[in-house]
Amino acid sequence: MTMQYYPPLSVLVEAKDAGMMVRTLAERRLGVSRKLLSRLKLTERGITVNGQRVYVNDRVQEGDLVELRMEQERSDDILPEPMALDIVYEDADLLIVNKPPGIVVHPTHGHYTGTIANGVVHHWRECGEIVRFRPIHRLDEDTSGLVAIAKTPYVHQQLSEQLQAGEVYKSYVAYVYGAPPASAGTVDEPIDRDPESPHVRIVTPSGYPSVTHYETAAVYGDGIASKVKLKLETGRTHQIRVHMKHIGCPLIGDAMYGFAAPERLADGLPKLEGLVARQALHAAVLGFTHPIRREWMQWEASLPEDLSSLETALAKQDFGR
């Protein structure tokens, strides 16, 4: 079977790069990781100079055309499934999907179908694209909003590095009980698993560094609830939900991180729980530098219907009292 490749990454060697090893050129000019370079070495036409296969330790001269080719891959372990996807953006390198609540991103034990991955793989096959599903980040099942999916190993590597370096902009909207102690602030508290319940995360001194910035956008019903905008510096599991609970403002509808309400909120809580069937959290804005275009790109997803209805009810102070 003839091997198929994604469009090559190309570098024209400049005078200042003459005499440099192919390995060094790929790392410095394209930011290719050593892991990816090792994969390319094993591919028939993975690394070429002026159309000829070379070794990573070979040296280049001014005017040489260096090309890196990645083999096309399918997600054969993911079942294609027709699905109504809200595709916010797509090009040859990446896909941005607005995930609805109640659906997981990737198949896991107990979720082999009905995931975003199943729908995306079907979409690509319908379009005739040979692409492997590579999400850059994930959202909880009941969190809605923007998810980025890489279409090549190189784009996945580049965006993962941006994510780890804190260069990916992620902004969320949440509806919480009570009002934060300040109109804007930062929660800088380490997070780790609860030793008594491994699926739950807690704030603990021995945890991993976790930083969440928040800004109060609206306060409802004399402090019964608030709309909060949040920006993450780190991406720990359940980070927003854990941090907001930590400052006394758990998300409305959050069954895992809810808490016993202060007396002054008691009359409003039962009705608020009935206004939304999941944690009131939405990944509203996503931005990063496009790995191929080398330009900043940013996308926004409007509130889904359930959170829009929740906001309307909160604004009307319709707490059933």
HEC secondary structure over 209-269: CCEEEEEEEEEEHHHCEEEEEEEECCCCCCHHHHHHHHCCCCECCCCCCCCCCCHHHCCCH
Helix axes of 34-41 and 22-30: crossing angle, nearest 10 degrees = 130
Active-site residue among 17, 64, 93, 140? 140
211 has which bridge partners?
188
What is the C-alpha separation between 21 and 177, in angstroms, rounded? 58
140 catalytic per annotation: yes
Contact 137, 161 (CB under 8 A): no
What is the C-alpha separation between 140 and 111, in angstroms, rounded? 13
What is the C-alpha separation between 181 and 91, in angstroms, rounded? 43
Classify 82 as helix, strand or coil. Answer: coil
Helix axes of 34-41 and 153-164: crossing angle, nearest 10 degrees = 170
Amino acid at 221: G
Supply the DSSP symbol for 136: S
**Across 34-168, where does the E strand assignment appear?**
47-49, 52-53, 65-68, 87-90, 94-99, 134-135, 144-150
Residue 108 CA to chain centroid, in angstroms?
A: 17
What is the C-alpha separation between 212 and 174, in angstroms, rounded? 13
186: tokens are 């930062």
Residues taking part in catalysis: 140
